[in-house]
Amino acid sequence: MVLDIPSLLEDLIWWEIAGYISLGIVTIGVAGESIADFTKWGERHKKWLGKASALVLIMGLAGEGITQSKTNSLSGIIIAGLGERTANAELELARIQRPRIIKPRQANDLVVSLRKYPGSKKFWIIVDKSEIDTGTEQEMLGDRLRGIFAQALWTPDAHTLKDRTKLDPSNMPNLNIGCLVSAEQTDLANFVAEELKIAGIACDTSAPHPEMAIGLVMIEIGL
């Protein structure tokens, strides 16, 4: 889930302002009780001033407790969200700096594992590539995976949807998704993603796509 950090920060500011207001109400309540107990004017009006001050104090303390709890909760969410963004940014930087390479032994193991899949063996790979890009890291990984799936006797099929009149491209610019595995069946997407992970390629899986062709897995490769 993507957090809207600016909106959360705005909410946090308003709750902090509410906390300061509650603190002011507490101060008014304490001041009222002090006047009732320690001044001559307070002695004349002690009965109603003391009760009113006590009610104000209770309201202020309750408001302060609520606002403090809310600000703590929002602060925790914001810190966690910023930490996740930092981790994702570091991961993206690592992907750019360190090419995703499948070593020969990993490739052989992946071929063996893919051959063992009992269901239909169809695949399609889409790579983040513009018309002017050549020899990019994601393009080389896509070519490597196409060769591995072909060795495992999987059939490339650009008809990724149940509607057989539509074809998907093999290249698409600005994917920016790392590696994403999609399929109509959850078990197929999970199987391929897990085998790629064992081979050293970390991929996410998307929610099941009911409009996708049955028995086909699609792998999108970006930065």
* Whether residue 94 has pLDDT greater than 60: no
pLDDT tens, 21-42?
A: 888 888 887 777 777 666 666 5
pLDDT recorded at residue 131: 64
Residue 178 near residue 127 (C-beta atoms within 8 A): no
Candidate from 22-26, 130-134, 146-150 with smallest mean pLDDT = 130-134
Q: 0.75 cut: is pTM over it?
A: no
- Residue ranges of the domains in the chain? 5-97, 104-221
